Amino acid sequence: MRSEVRKAKVAGVGSFVPEKVLSNSDLEDMVDTNDEWITTRTGIKERRVVEEGMSTSDLAYEAAKLALADAGLKAQDLDLILVATATPDHLAFPSTACIVQDKLGAKGVPAFDLAAACTGFVYGVSVATQYIETGAYDNILVIGAETLSKIIDWEDRSTCILFGDGAGAAVLTPTEKGGILSNLLGADGAQSQVLKVEGGGSKNPLSQSIIDEGLHYIEMEGNPVFKFAVRILGRAANEALEIAGLDDSDIDYLVPHQANIRIIDAAAKRLDLQKEQVYVNLDKYGNTSAASIPLALDGAVKSGDIKEGDIVVLVGFGAGLTWGATVIEWS
């Protein structure tokens, strides 16, 4: 186990989702699909979508306020704000983190975005951990927020059934007991084309032809993504545990990326976990990308499933392809 005296801990969590619910039965009226097909293959029953005019920073701001309150801190106490998102308010700049900073009134606090898709929150926690362990900063706000409904082709039944909007946040602070024991990150750019948004960046700048071809929407090759996810979730968790000097028998609670119930079940089986040791809210929110893990973590904490002293593993995967895991001794 790592020996630093100063570690980082999760001092507060919060989450926020839009009011509008889009159920599987609603989707039956939009595309050729049905509730049984979606539920059987994904575990999703409904998802939340933003109303017109609501942006990612709006969701992030609401989750941030709740996390700060849970940590007993004010925005002015923060030393850094990180926002993990694949759906920023603006394509280039300003960063969504800067917009959230202004909304919070955290004047002068450094803020920047992270882009690691669904693994973004774990990447953010890893970055924040380094700042705290080195003593550079004390109070760091890490947010995962998405409005994926903005980049979904609602006529593509292979993707529109999967994703939802939401935000989750965590405040990290120093601790000398417990806290974050390890972080494990990885990426495989050779598989970057299996999950992507082709249009809108410097390679294919947004234009009328890009819009006409639908290249500004999410494109996914389902089979390779599924196979990758089944392999990587359990492996990433095991590697992070090994860094912390632990193994899968030490896990008390798993908070996985909420992408597909079959992927979650495969990870739980590999880690030899019982159903009650794994948090799932996929049925209510679908895949919310970078918001998925913090949204689930907030739910697990608020429900009392995670207790003082528990060994908690956060683990996810995403476009890039990326993956990551964080091991926490909850304190």
Pairwise CA distance, residues 87 & 318, whole Å = 14
The pLDDT value given to residue 65: 98
CATH fold for the domain made of 181-329: Peroxisomal Thiolase; Chain A, domain 1 (3.40.47)
Hey, which residues does 23 pair with through a beta bridge? 46
pLDDT of residue 14: 98
Strand-pairing partners, residue 328, are: 180, 312
- pLDDT score, position 2: 45
Is residue 1 predicted with pLDDT exceeding 80?
Answer: no
For residues 59 and 51, give the distance between their C-alpha atoms in angstroms, rounded to a whole number: 11
Is residue 182 within 8 A of residue 241, CB to CB? The reply is yes
**What is the average per-residue pLDDT within 108-135?**
98
pTM for the predicted model, two decimal places: 0.97
State the Cα–Cα distance between residues 281 and 258, nearest whole angstrom.
7
Strand ranges for 27-94 from DSSP E: 46-48, 80-84
- The pLDDT of residue 98 is 98
Whole-angstrom CA distances from 98 to 9, 26, 59, 107, 254 are 24, 36, 14, 10, 31
Residues in Cβ contact with 248 at an 8 Å cutoff, skipping those fewer than 6 apart: 237, 238, 241, 270, 271, 272, 273
Segment 277-327, tens digit of pLDDT: 999 999 999 999 999 999 999 999 999 999 999 999 999 999 999 999 999
- Which residues are annotated as catalytic? 118, 257, 287
Following CA atoms 6, 82, 201, 320 in sequence, which dihedral angle do they give, to the nearest 10 degrees?
A: 40
pLDDT tens for 19-75 read 999 999 999 999 999 999 999 999 999 999 999 999 999 999 999 999 999 999 999
CA distances from 155 to 59, 171, 218 (A): 25, 38, 12
In CATH, the number for domain 7-176 is: 3.40.47.10
Residue 136 is predicted with a pLDDT of 97
**216-268 per-position pLDDT tens digit:** 999 999 999 999 999 999 999 999 999 999 999 999 999 999 999 999 999 99
What average pLDDT does the chain have?
A: 97
Residues of each domain in the chain carrying CATH 3.40.47.10: 7-176, 181-329
How many Å separate Cα 238 from the centre of its chain? 19
Q: Are 124 and 62 in contact (CB under 8 A)?
A: no
What's the pLDDT band for 5 if we cut at 50, 70, 90? confident
pLDDT of residue 3: 45
Q: 318: how many CB neighbours lie within 10 A of its CB?
A: 29
Give the amino acid at 244: A
